[in-house]
Structures are given as C-alpha cells and as structure tokens.
Amino acid sequence: MQFDELVTVMRRLALEAGDCIMEVYHSGDFEERAKSDDSPVTVADEAADKLISAGLRAAFPDVALVTEEQAATHSESAECFLIVDPLDGTKEFLKRRGDFTVNIAYVENGVPVRGVVYAPARGRMFYTDASGQSVEETGDLSKDTPGPVTPLSVAKPDNDALMVVASKSHRDAATDDYISRYAVRDMTSAGSSLKFCLVAAGEADLYPRLGRTMEWDTAAGDAVLRGAGGHVVRFDGHAPLTYGKPGYENPFFIAYAPGVTLQPA
C-alpha cells in the first residue's frame, strides 16, 4: 500500500462525506429508520457511505472494503482491508449533539495502521500521516490542500489523578463500576470515536468500553490512538484488540495511555 496516496484519499473522502452529512444535519431531513440490529440509520449515513465507498473502490480497486452500511454483503475478512463507518454516532447526530464522526481506516494483519476521524460539526480532523504519526489538522480543512498539523502524543498519566472519558449514549452501571476502581481526577463524556482521539491528544488518559461495538466503530480511532503512542486492549485479559474477527464484532475493550495501571476485568 502506498501510504501517501492512502492518507490523501481517506482525508479527502472524509471531508467530502462530512459536507454531505452536514447538509442533512442542517436540513433536518433525517428519515430515521431501524436496521436489523435495531440501531438507527439515516439518509446521511447512506449518502456518506455511498460517497466513501465509491471513492475508495475507485482509488484502491484491489483492496477489500468493509462498511457498516453494507455489512450484510461482507464475506470472510482479508489480511488487508479498508473499513468504514460513514457516520459514527448516529444517536448523537439525531440528538443534534455534534459528537458524530466519519471514520475510515486501513487494516493490515489485524492491526489498524492508518486512519482518519473527522468530526464535521466540531471542525476537528484527526488522522495518521503517511509515516504513521497521528496529527490533528487545523485551519480551513481544504479538501485539496492540507492545513497546519499538530503531532499528537498521549499524556503521561498520574495514576492518582486520571482523566477518564466515557460514552455519552452507552454509559451503564458496569462501566461506572469499573471506572470506580481508579483514582479519577475528572471525567468527561464524548460520542463516537472522538473518545479515542481525546486520549490520543492527551486530553484524557483512559477510555473503557463495556458494551457492544463493531470494528468499523473503532478501527479509525484505534489507528489514531496507536499513532499517538496509545494502546487498545481487550477488557478480558488485556491482549491487544485485533481486527478481521468473525462478524467484525469487538469484545469489550480499554483504550489508554501507557503508564495507566489497568485494573482487572
């Protein structure tokens, strides 16, 4: 894979999909429906998926593609594949909270090695550059010319005063019980894959997820966190989270900055 080309294409498609999503967001034409797993889907999800899928297939016709909105067509995973959640955080989108993202990632041998997370309502763009370093881009986010970037690096955590980020829409008693095992300085909540990015940017130390997620929900944020020096591990046993699993379903996991003393499951 030519990572220069990959990053350029993923970045541009994320921005274009963001424009498509925001057009629906401002119009209020959500047309919410329930998928077979009872999760919500809107015209914004479907339009963004169509745009990103067409762009990736045109640029990388020989690379397998997995997207949330085409999950029923997926077969056995390839060793290398692109994986997309065109609108991560649909519940946040429907509630007009703004914490929704476009997620595009590239996986090699079970590891998300490049990814982009774009939060169009927040104007925040995170991605791994061609070398694998994670950055946040600022400026006007031109589709053709990348703006200034700030390299991302996880914080050096203080286990006596950790900053924890948790889900806005999927918080539960089990998550709160697990968090209570740590010495927490403060907590924040965020939707979608932005939680990974907050850890990557040093704005949080720990993100535990004790709930169902799919690989397209996490791959891009996982890539950004890894490229900033962070880790994502399984909740049960703390082995690294891998991708290309049967059904593309994740176990519970913990995303964190090195130095955090993880508590057992």
Residue 224 to residue 114: CA distance in whole angstroms: 7
What is 3-151's CATH topology? Fructose-1,6-Bisphosphatase; Chain A, domain 1 (3.30.540)
Q: Is the Cβ–Cβ distance between 162 and 182 less than 8 Å?
A: yes
Q: Where in the chain is the domain with CATH 3.30.540.10?
A: 3-151
Residue 222 to residue 21: CA distance in whole angstroms: 23
Structure tokens at 246: 């049967």
- Say what the pLDDT of residue 33 is: 60
Rounded to the nearest angstrom, the gap between the alpha carbon of residue 47 and the centroid of all alpha carbons in its chain is 19
pLDDT values of the chain reduced to their tens digit, one per residue, 265 residues? 999 999 999 999 999 999 999 999 988 666 656 554 546 678 898 999 999 999 999 999 999 999 988 876 666 678 899 999 999 988 888 888 888 999 999 999 999 999 999 999 999 999 999 999 999 999 999 999 999 999 999 999 999 999 999 886 667 889 999 999 999 999 998 888 999 999 999 999 999 999 999 999 999 999 999 999 999 999 999 999 999 998 899 999 999 999 999 999 8
Q: Which residues of 244-259 are buried (b: 16+ CB within 10 A; e: fewer)?
A: beeebebbbbbbbbee
Q: Where in the chain is the domain with CATH 3.40.190.80?
A: 162-256
**Closest listed residue to residue 210, CA positions, set 247, 241, 172:** 172
- Say what the pLDDT of residue 114 is: 98
Sheet holding 124-128, edge to edge: 64-67, 80-88, 101-108, 111-119, 124-128, 134-137, 149-151
- Say what the pLDDT of residue 59 is: 98
Q: Which residue has the tokens 């990959």?
A: 6
Q: Is the Cβ–Cβ distance between 178 and 51 less than 8 Å?
A: no
Query: Could you please report the per-residue DSSP string of 193-230?
Result: THHHHHHHTTS-SEEEE-S-EEHHHHHHHHHHHHHTT-
CATH architecture of 162-256: 3-Layer(aba) Sandwich (3.40)
Q: Is the Cβ–Cβ distance between 72 and 204 less than 8 Å?
A: no
- Say what the pLDDT of residue 31 is: 65
Q: Which residue has the tokens 């057009």?
A: 23
